[in-house]
Amino acid sequence: MRTQVGIVGAGPAGLMLAQILHLQGIDSVLIERASQEHVRSRLRAGVLEQGTVEMMREFGVGERVMKVGLRQRAIDFRFNGESHPIDFESVCGRNTWVYPQHEVVSDLMAARERSGLPVVYDAPVSRIEGLDGGRPVIHYERDGEPLRLECDYVAGCDGFRGISRSWIPADRLKVYDRIYPFGWLGILADAKPAIQDITWGCHEDGFAMMSIRSPTVTRLYLQCEPDENPDDWPDDRIWAELHKRLDVPGLPRLEEGRITQKGVTAMRSFLAEPMQYGRLFLAGDAAHIVPPTGAKGLNSALADVKVLARALTEQYRNENGQWLERYSDICLKRMWLVQRFSSGLCTMTHQFRGDEPFVRRLQRADLEYMTMHAPGRLEFSENFTGLPVEA
């Protein structure tokens, strides 16, 4: 097979890139390790920045999010037994949307089907060659048969555990990595959200979060050990801990319901520099991951591919390679700000074992500054609803 852009990985980054390129008249082939059903049903992110929703609309996949997505205008930070909401709509005029990642993926898959262009599922990529001269070839396997895709450019959209990043020579790649000493126990519950706003509990026993998934389903998280066994958390223990960390006097108590899903997520900040090598361009989790506190993973993946699609369009339409050359610099400039926000928020809202009382008190002062002072509220609101993408 031959194409213009070979895309490794059909997660949100790969699918969105394919969609934008298609609208610009550029051909692509997506090669995905997992089955279509597996990719479609992976439950992950749920919060979309306003810019992400605008991007989905701009590129023809925004109809359903506008119909069934839930607009969020505030976050309620709870600490010291009190509620401290930040109404980002009134602070910076922007919102976020609750619309689960699997719905974004379904919308993008439907768009790909409409385009009639290929996605090869159940096809792990094992090797990429010809990146620094000549023509790249992506080697993959389907039903035990080795196959190859020739292309002009390779987009590495294969997530954190993909293989694309490993084809950048080690002496050209600088990796920044921080693993946090805690994780999130996440549950999905058939319970009516107590309030519409995302609620963050910054309690001395650890962080907790409640976010609405639908009028009858709630997503909840609890700070836990990074290697916590979810089986050690019977439902009663989970609800007791959630009440302790999230409820405050004078506001509706958390509603309980049947827990339908339970899992532990590790927390990590990771960034690979540069995000390109020869004809290979990394996008999304393949290049960076953030702790889920800021809800930035999916949003950042889509921001990258917007820049990449623009750069490839300039190359194909106008033979202007300047954007491709600057791809990594443009994305990293924004991504470091996203890392700063996500990591800062994670550190401010979670409890680190062994922190001295002085550090804990500073944490409280940070929370108070962010929620009670106008510059703090503005900084949070601009970052949470999404920094502009320079595309």
Give burial (CB, 10 Å; 0-12/13-18/19+) of 144.
exposed
Amino acid at 286: A
* Interface residue with ligand RFL, options 213, 297, 383, 389 (CB under 6 A): 297
State yes or no: residue 101 binds ligand RFL (CB under 6 A): yes
Looking at the DSSP bridge assignments, the partners of residue 146 are 141
What is d(CA 18, CA 20) in angstroms, rounded to the nearest whole number?
6
Two tokens, residue 92: 């910076």
State yes or no: residue 76 binds ligand RFL (CB under 6 A): no
Q: Considering CB under 6 A, how many residues would be counted as binding ligand RFL?
A: 35
Q: Which of residues 117-136 bind ligand RFL (CB under 6 A)?
A: 124-125
Pairing of strands 280-282, 276-277: antiparallel
Minimum distance of ligand RFL from residue 224's CB (angstroms) = 13
Print the binding letters for residues 344-363 with ligand RFL: x by CB under 6 A, - otherwise.
--------------------
Give yes or no for a contact between 213 and 46, defined as CB atoms under 8 angstroms apart.
Answer: yes
State yes or no: residue 157 binds ligand RFL (CB under 6 A): yes
* Interface residue with ligand RFL, options 185, 209, 295, 309 (CB under 6 A): 295
Helix (H, G, I), strand (E, B) or coil at 252: coil
Angle of helix 322-349 versus helix 297-318 axis, rounded to 10: 170
Which CB sits closer to ligand RFL, 242 or 298? 298
State yes or no: residue 159 binds ligand RFL (CB under 6 A): yes
When computed from its CA atoms, the radius of gyration of the chain, rounded to whole angstroms, is: 21
Q: Which of residues 190-229 bind ligand RFL (CB under 6 A)?
A: none
Print the binding letters for residues 8-47 with ligand RFL: x by CB under 6 A, - otherwise.
xxxxxxx----------------xxxx----x----xxxx
Angle of helix 12-23 versus helix 297-318 axis, rounded to 10: 30
Q: Which residues bind ligand RFL (CB under 6 A)?
A: 8-14, 31-34, 39, 44-47, 101, 124-125, 157-159, 162-163, 186, 265, 284-285, 292, 295-299, 301
